Chain A
Amino acid sequence: MLYAVLCYDSEDVVGAWTKEQDDAVMVSLGEVQERLAAQGRLGPVARLLPTTAATTVRKGREPLVLDGPFAETKEQLLGFYVVDCDSLEQAVETAKDLARASGSAGAFELRPLRYYKAGSAGA
């Protein structure tokens, strides 16, 4: 069974870290990742850019594009994609295609990745 581990934290706190503190956290997380990778258990790892870089596409007959992260609490995180896009424009178009295909309510939050490693688990 593959598990997704989703990281939640206070952006205020993480954003107040110095570069040295941030680097130290990344190094210590990297050590855990290396152990998992050596066991062949590690899939994709990503760190997202801050929520200020987020754009949200609301599903609907004509999908609505909004600035900022997904903020509703009525809906839950059910899945995610990682898609290579030339620009935000292309990412929005991709989300709109998915929105038209999914046929339910809800939204897609677009978050550029700051760090990405593909990993090999489940390949």
Chain B
Amino acid sequence: MTDPAWIHAALTGARPQALGALLRYFRDLDTAEEAYQDACLRALKSWPVNGPPRDPAAWLILVGRNAALDGVRRRSRQTALPDETALSDLEDAEAPLAERLDGSQYRDDVLRLMFVCCHPDLPATQQIALALRIVSGLSVKQIARAFLVGEAAMEQRITRAKARVAAAGVPFETPGAVERAERVGAVAATLYLVFNEGYGADPAAAEARGPLCEEAIRLARLLLRLFPAEPEIMGLTALMLIQHARRAARFDADGQTVLLEDQDRTLWDPKLIAEGLALIDKAVRHRRPGPYQLQAAIAATHARAPRFEDTDWAGIERLYAALERLQPSPVVTLNRAAALSKAEGAEPALALVEPLEKALSGYFYFHGVRGALLKQLGRRAEARQAFNRAVALAGTAAEAAHIRAEIDRLGA
């Protein structure tokens, strides 16, 4: 199996581990990237001829490191290291290296590489761009296209991000438990940002941005393999899987958003949902709830309902209440109110919504929910007022059209 698709997938799969090890070795992102690129070029030449190595990551690390050192030696007119074709049977050279990379070192290498890109000193836009460039290996052109900016502007954004990370000085020693947990948390947050960049894209932008969802899921699975007992990473991965499972049902033929209640659930991807549900099952056993797990559990409750009418709204309301305790926010309360209205009616829900006016007066969804509750309670004039404010704040044509339909249904 040395066809181009296999080699491409093997290089993509080995990238975080190989680049992570080279970064530890050279302690400089640009040198590590150059060494990795060099190793990839040699792999493209060598693998189709000599067959793929047993451990692609170990091969790339060894060859990348030698190539970089070779460059240094050549510059200082010393003897070159043996060519990697002489290493085509890597059994001997590979084994001790692979052994050293086993376990915790490999884990911390990959985590460090990811953390460098997700560094809290970086603004979110730079985190996303750097993670896609360095960890995923997307080209600057691909990333620029996904963000609708020019290639030069994206190149500059990535260069600035690298400079900032270098200035922040991420330590290369093995991290302690607290530091490791902080890094895992920062990486998880960035992966969710990457996912949402893809998830938020409308169909027109989906071609360029859709792969971001798959990339975020791939990296979340990688993170989970490194930290198999972290319930929040299980939750994050499950959340992304279940949301992504709905992708085929989220837009109609005209590219308009289809609300959850109107989606054709037969279009939801059962394989992704099954994986998401399996991960939540695992996470729940830890009895350590967190925001990602709760959001995933909410998504899972929707996924378990065969029809919108079958949704367990009382369960969703309880999950939002738990999320509210962990991460108090008016938006979470608003969502809880929407679930409460389905479970217990509009009156208790409106009581929950009214105090949010000050915090959410500029938020489309607030006026939409409030209008719907007022309408249910027969307070039509107030409902119309709320809907009018919602239309004014709508971010997309589909949102505005949805509210206008509500106004029409209010009648004269």
Q: Name the one of A16, A50, A65, A89 contacting B9, with C-beta atoms under 8 angstroms.
A: A16
Contact with B along A1-33 (1 / 0, CB 8 A): 000000000111111111101000000000000
CB <8 Å contact, A53 and B5 = no
CB <8 Å contact, A65 and B271 = no
- Name the CB-closest residue of B to A21: B5
CB <8 Å contact, B10 and A10 = yes
Which residues of A does B touch, CB under 8 Å? 10-19, 21, 49-53, 55, 65-68, 87-89, 112, 114-115
- Name the CB-closest residue of B to A113: B274
CB <8 Å contact, B10 and A53 = no
Segment at the interface with A among B26-34, B139-147, B224-232: B224-232
What is the CA–CA distance of A51 and B221 in the complex, to the nearest angstrom? 9
CB <8 Å contact, B9 and A53 = no
CB <8 Å contact, A17 and B275 = no
CB <8 Å contact, A13 and B274 = no
Which chain B residues lie closer than 8 Å to A52 at the CB level? 221, 224-225, 228, 234, 237, 279
CB <8 Å contact, B274 and A87 = no
What are 29 contact pairs spanning A and B, CB under 8 A? A10-B10, A10-B56, A12-B14, A12-B222, A13-B6, A13-B9, A15-B221, A16-B9, A16-B13, A17-B9, A18-B214, A21-B9, A49-B274, A49-B275, A50-B275, A52-B224, A52-B237, A52-B279, A53-B278, A55-B282, A65-B285, A67-B228, A68-B225, A68-B228, A87-B281, A88-B285, A89-B285, A112-B274, A112-B278
Which chain A residues lie closer than 8 Å to B224 at the CB level? 52
CB <8 Å contact, A67 and B274 = no
- Closest 5 A/B residue pairs (Cβ): A12-B13, A68-B228, A88-B281, A16-B12, A53-B278
Task: Please count the residue pairs between chain A and chain B whose beta carbons lie under 8 angstroms apart in the complex.
Answer: 73
B318 within 8 A of A: no
Give the one of A11, A67, A89 with max B CB within 10 A. Answer: A67
Distance from A9 Cβ to chain B, minimum over Cβ atoms (Å): 10
Which chain A residues lie closer than 8 Å to B282 at the CB level? 53, 55, 67, 88
B218 within 8 A of A: yes
CB <8 Å contact, B271 and A13 = no
What is the CA–CA distance of A49 and B285 in the complex, to the nearest angstrom? 19
Give the one of B5, B10, B229 with max A CB within 10 A. Answer: B5
What is the CA–CA distance of A113 and B214 in the complex, to the nearest angstrom? 21
What is the CA–CA distance of A13 and B5 in the complex, to the nearest angstrom? 10
Additional pairs, 7, CB under 8 Å, beyond known A19-B214, A65-B285:
A12-B14, A13-B6, A16-B10, A17-B9, A52-B237, A52-B279, A53-B278
